[in-house]
């Protein structure tokens, strides 16, 4: 479903991702770990088509997404892939209802289908009754859940979650993990999740990858990440100062 081969992304001579390769099937979830600034968001954005200047190949359903970087094709591609922004990414001037309805309207859906789908998505993230609120009236955690509702309302095949539980209390984080698991089993989505949340990762992912200095220094099963002998993984999990990962 998602296939990335030798992906290299640079900004002004700074190599952010260096020959990154990964593979995710339908119904599978990969968690992406890495220090702040290690390129997790850049990786997700490249797969979402939001960063188009890269070397290597990104294929979705066997199609090289470079072919889809023209406007007409992107319209279809766009809505197969949902991107849940790290910072919510909501439109400040639109209420919750309109924020969630936005991708449906862009897709050309009209009429009763819109309120039905919006309400259903908001219910799944525990936000029924918040339709008329503006983003500025919501807590950070609620904004994140609106972002999640907006992503799931278009029934995507692929969901890229950028730090979906950051800033949420442990109980809410756990409930977001439940929603992510429900989406996965219901829609057979291929998902990628950039996170620092080790507990949530164990709960929702089968595959794990660790980025460091642009490279994937671990790629394998979540079980091996937590129980294997990869020195980078061990240092990351145990949050040790000593090891191959520099602190700064």
Q: Which residues bind Mg ion (CB under 5 A)?
A: 40-41, 86
Closer CB to Mg ion, residue 45 or residue 124? 45
Angstrom distance (rounded) from CA 222 to CA 243: 21
Closest CA to 225 of 244, 248, 205: 205
Least Å distance, CB 162 to Mg ion, is: 6
Least Å distance, CB 193 to Mg ion, is: 11
Closer CB to Mg ion, residue 88 or residue 118? 88
Least Å distance, CB 197 to Mg ion, is: 13
Closer CB to ligand ATP, residue 24 or residue 42? 42
Using CA atoms, how far residue 40 sits from 35, 37, 131, 169, 212, in Å, is: 9, 8, 31, 22, 10
Partners of 17 in beta bridges = 9
Q: Which does 11 bind (CB under 5 to 8 A by kind): ligand ATP, Mg ion, none?
A: ligand ATP
Would you tell me which residues interact with ligand ATP (CB under 6 A)?
Answer: 11, 16, 34, 36-42, 86, 163, 194
Closer CB to ligand ATP, residue 97 or residue 212? 212
Closer CB to ligand ATP, residue 40 or residue 144? 40
Chain center to CA of 230: 25
Least Å distance, CB 179 to Mg ion, is: 20
Residue nearest to ligand ATP (CB): 41
Angstrom distance (rounded) from CA 84 to CA 148: 6
Partners of 212 in beta bridges = 215
Centre a 10 Å sphere on the Cβ of residue 223 and count the other Cβ atoms it contains.
11
DSSP character at residue 151: H
Q: Which does 34 bind (CB under 5 to 8 A by kind): Mg ion, ligand ATP, none?
A: ligand ATP
Q: 3-state DSSP call for residue 218?
A: strand
């Amino acid at each position: 479903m998602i296939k990335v081969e030798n992906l290299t992304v640079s900004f002004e001579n700074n190599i952010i991702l260096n020959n990154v390769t990964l593979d995710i099937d339908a119904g599978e979830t990969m968690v992406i770990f890495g220090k702040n600034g290690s390129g997790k968001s850049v990786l997700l954005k490249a797969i979402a088509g939001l960063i188009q200047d890269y070397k290597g190949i990104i294929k979705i359903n066997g199609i090289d997404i470079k072919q889809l970087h023209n406007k007409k094709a992107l319209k279809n591609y766009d809505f197969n892939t949902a991107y849940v922004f790290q910072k919510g990414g909501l439109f400040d001037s639109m209420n919750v209802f309109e924020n969630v309805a936005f991708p449906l309207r862009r897709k050309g859906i009209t009429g009763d289908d819109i309120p039905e789908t919006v309400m259903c998505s908001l219910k799944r993230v525990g936000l029924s009754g918040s339709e008329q609120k503006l983003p500025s009236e919501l807590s950070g955690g609620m904004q994140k859940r609106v972002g999640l509702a907006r992503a799931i309302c278009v029934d995507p095949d692929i969901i890229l979650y950028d730090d979906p539980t950051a800033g949420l209390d442990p109980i809410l984080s756990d409930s977001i993990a439940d929603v992510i698991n429900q989406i996965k089993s219901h829609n057979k989505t291929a998902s990628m999740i950039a996170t620092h949340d080790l507990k949530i990762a164990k709960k929702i992912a089968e595959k794990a990858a660790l980025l460091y200095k642009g490279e994937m220094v671990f790629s394998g099963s979540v079980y091996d990440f937590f129980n294997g002998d990869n020195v980078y993984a061990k240092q990351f999990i145990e949050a040790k100062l000593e090891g191959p990962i520099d602190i700064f």
